A and B are shown apart, each in its own frame.
Chain A
């Protein structure tokens, strides 16, 4: 699985988007998440199971103060 165009080293069977957020400690609240180009809504983060070949994008929307 790839996260933001880099190899994701912690992939395992049953991994959800929320698991990735937790592993990466992505605590910033405004994230735009796409799997294979498809936008995923926040309410699906905990149930969306990622596959080994998925292309996951987690974009942080912050451009500074």
Chain B
């Protein structure tokens, strides 16, 4: 690559000089606003009231987005924004998982706000450069890059015509371009998307961090909801942030010693216990591939089944022993002792435009193996790694890609679509070649890849309207809700997790609540009220990570040895106290568990009202496809016949003897759908919402969120 030639071809469109403000107790109280339609760059003060109610991260993103858009704004309108924000605790280096950025935008998949979190160095660098948040609005005429130099205090918008779009190339090119030398590369972080983000609705943002051992820019993804699609639609090629001088006290915290003490205690816990528990340092999130299979929770063949005899071929140890090459723990921000990042070096690609090249593949994570692999009936680790690489570099979400490919494979096998429609692709389960061709078509914007790239929500409508598919059946098997594809867990046998997916703000992503073991295996939350309490506490608790700039994994992917002796082991009380200490240490604001939950509730309810303002967010939008609740087809019923027959006898009072499978499916369905409605009632009640899912004015008042713009929205839906 001729970096100099690329750089010389840049045309400066706008430049902004500023005095980088040092952080004070985790905040600068400044936001960088950039409009790429008219090339405005300006500094905004963060109002004290906003800081108190929205805290940071996702809270800031949602607040800015609300102010930027109207109820009729679509994802590709110039006023839609991409907001990147970290949060007050983000960027500290003494505790694990403290480098997360939260990204917010109106989603091309759901048409409502989406939030997605991501590691990599960009977010902390942005903070250290003087900005609590970055708002990007507008739409450029030609491809541009934005460059933030946090040491010199310069922000530039430049036309960038020659750089590649695919992430593994562009990340390297911009890192090389803006680093003064090899040692300086660690001070560069880049946001990119990829070529398929331009042609699909499932685009991701890649955030880089420079790996000094491998000498390569690694990629972490803000995956869900198509934010990369918004990025490329705005004609942004990349955003670079450069900051030299990372050290442990840049947040200028209130009490450094409490942060140090809490961090040392946690690092010891990791060192002494990780190898006895989840083995995150060695295997990362992939440790649960074979465990999900054992518990009948691994999605197979578009969520029809929960296990497969070939799962052993893609179990975690296969990747670790045969492919991952680092032989040492690996984190995506300084000081993360959990170190769950993993990579495969010198992976030789067999297909696509980079065929024959040796590349670095970040991953695989659990979701990659489950979605790209088992859910599509593919049990070849090398195909999973190749799809993983291409999803990242083309800039598309592995979860949405896996789930939508599984959907089209089932449609193909059942004759809902055929080779004429797929333009020759034989999309049978297990056809790795077809999946790889599909992803390359998405990059090129060609063929059936362009249809599949619309996402399941738009595809299912097309299949009904254009190809005469049976609407009821198709909607039953289409694993999407609010427009977002399901993430990779089978929740048919856990009512609480059906709610964990369905009763969410952004759609069926498991980052609000993962209750399958607690519900299905442990039987700890048997009543509707128990489940509702869990579906209040966990989504609120986990929202808090996104306000502060924290990763969820260090909370419960390791637990203190005496955790089992506590009253509520599932909540990991000692770690909750750690977080309260970190928040206090950075901000000087001492809060308790209740206030922690209320901080989240303020933002969570704001997001719910935002959804309602944009035309979703009511009870009807929380309905889920029956495939997520129970057996749609005869084959699914038969695969768990003993279990389902028993439930009919014991729970429904229906004797299955002598009944047809169809009769049994119908009866079980009526029961399970009724259970979901009852769960919805209980959860809405617990959250302080009407039975139509609307936060009440009383609830908003109680939270101090009775803002006029929120009351105006909810009051229209109170009767």
Q: How far is the CA of A32 from the CA of B513 in the complex (A)?
A: 20
The answer to whether A62 touches B517, judged by C-beta atoms less than 8 angstroms apart, is yes
Most buried by B among A5, A27, A57, A64: A64
Q: How far is the CB of B285 from chain A (nearest CB, A)?
A: 5
Closest to A29 in B: B277
The answer to whether B489 touches A39, judged by C-beta atoms less than 8 angstroms apart, is no
Asked whether A30 is an interface residue with its Cβ less than 8 Å from the other chain, the reply is: yes
List residues of chain B with CB within 8 A of the CB of A30: 277-278, 559
Q: How far is the CA of A28 from the CA of B523 in the complex (A)?
A: 16
Task: Take A29-B276, A30-B277, A32-B564 as given contacts and tell me if A65 and B521 are in contact as well, using a CB distance cutoff of 8 Å.
Answer: no
Q: How far is the CA of A62 from the CA of B553 in the complex (A)?
A: 11
Q: How far is the CB of B188 from chain A (nearest CB, A)?
A: 28
Asked whether A63 is an interface residue with its Cβ less than 8 Å from the other chain, the reply is: yes
Asked whether B149 is an interface residue with its Cβ less than 8 Å from the other chain, the reply is: no
The answer to whether A27 touches B291, judged by C-beta atoms less than 8 angstroms apart, is yes
From the candidates A59, A60, A65, name the one contacting B366 in the complex (CB within 8 A).
Answer: A65
Task: Take A5-B523, A28-B291 as given contacts and tell me if A63 and B556 are in contact as well, using a CB distance cutoff of 8 Å.
Answer: yes
List residues of chain A with CB within 8 A of the CB of B290: 27
Asked whether B592 is an interface residue with its Cβ less than 8 Å from the other chain, the reply is: no
Q: How far is the CB of A58 from chain B (nearest CB, A)?
A: 8
Q: How far is the CA of A62 from the CA of B521 in the complex (A)?
A: 11
Q: How far is the CB of A61 from chain B (nearest CB, A)?
A: 6
Task: Take A27-B291, A30-B277, A30-B559 as given contacts and tell me if A59 and B524 are in contact as well, using a CB distance cutoff of 8 Å.
Answer: yes
Q: How far is the CB of B398 from chain A (nearest CB, A)?
A: 13
Classify chain A's interface size. Answer: 20 to 34
List residues of chain B with CB within 8 A of the CB of A65: 285, 288, 365-367, 510, 514, 552-553
The answer to whether B285 touches A60, judged by C-beta atoms less than 8 angstroms apart, is no
Asked whether B434 is an interface residue with its Cβ less than 8 Å from the other chain, the reply is: no
Classify chain B's interface size. Answer: 35 or more
**Per-position binary interface string of chain A over residues 44-64, scored 1 when its CB falls under 8 Å from any chain B CB and 0 otherwise:** 000000000000011111111
Asked whether A4 is an interface residue with its Cβ less than 8 Å from the other chain, the reply is: yes
Closest to A40 in B: B564
Interface of chain B: mostly helix, strand, loop or mixed? helix
Task: Take A27-B294, A30-B277, A64-B514 as given contacts and tell me if A6 and B523 are in contact as well, using a CB distance cutoff of 8 Å.
Answer: yes
Q: How far is the CA of A13 from the CA of B353 in the complex (A)?
A: 64
Asked whether A12 is an interface residue with its Cβ less than 8 Å from the other chain, the reply is: no
The answer to whether B569 touches A32, judged by C-beta atoms less than 8 angstroms apart, is yes
**Per-position binary interface string of chain B over residues 521-559, scored 1 when its CB falls under 8 Å from any chain A CB and 0 otherwise:** 111101000000000001000000000000011001001
List residues of chain B with CB within 8 A of the CB of A32: 563-564, 569
Asked whether A25 is an interface residue with its Cβ less than 8 Å from the other chain, the reply is: yes
Most buried by A among B522, B523, B526: B522
Q: How far is the CB of B366 from chain A (nearest CB, A)?
A: 6
The answer to whether A5 touches B526, judged by C-beta atoms less than 8 angstroms apart, is yes
Asked whether B518 is an interface residue with its Cβ less than 8 Å from the other chain, the reply is: yes
The answer to whether A60 touches B553, judged by C-beta atoms less than 8 angstroms apart, is no
Q: How far is the CA of A62 from the CA of B565 in the complex (A)?
A: 16
The answer to whether A60 touches B517, judged by C-beta atoms less than 8 angstroms apart, is yes
List residues of chain A with CB within 8 A of the CB of B366: 65
Q: How far is the CB of B648 from chain A (nearest CB, A)?
A: 17
List residues of chain B with CB within 8 A of the CB of A6: 523
The answer to whether B367 touches A60, judged by C-beta atoms less than 8 angstroms apart, is no
List residues of chain B with CB within 8 A of the CB of A39: 564-565
Closest to A34 in B: B564
Closest to B367 in A: A65
Asked whether B570 is an interface residue with its Cβ less than 8 Å from the other chain, the reply is: yes
Closest to A28 in B: B291
List residues of chain B with CB within 8 A of the CB of A27: 290-291, 294
Q: How far is the CB of B357 from chain A (nearest CB, A)?
A: 30
The answer to whether B526 touches A61, judged by C-beta atoms less than 8 angstroms apart, is no
Q: Which residues of B contact A (CB under 8 A)?
A: 276-278, 285, 288, 290-291, 294-295, 365-367, 489, 510-511, 513-518, 521-524, 526, 538, 552-553, 556, 559, 563-565, 569-570
Further 16 A-B residue pairs, CB within 8 A, beyond A28-B517, A63-B515, A64-B489: A5-B523, A30-B277, A30-B559, A32-B569, A58-B522, A59-B517, A60-B518, A60-B521, A61-B517, A61-B564, A62-B556, A63-B513, A64-B516, A65-B288, A65-B365, A65-B553
Q: Which residues of A contact B (CB under 8 A)?
A: 4-6, 25-30, 32, 39, 57-65
- Of all A-B residue pairs in the complex, the 8 with the closest CB atoms, nearest first, are A64-B514, A60-B517, A32-B564, A4-B523, A59-B522, A27-B294, A65-B285, A64-B510
What would 13 A/B residue contacts be, using CB atoms closer than 8 Å? A4-B522, A4-B523, A27-B291, A29-B277, A39-B565, A57-B522, A60-B517, A61-B563, A61-B564, A62-B288, A64-B516, A65-B366, A65-B514
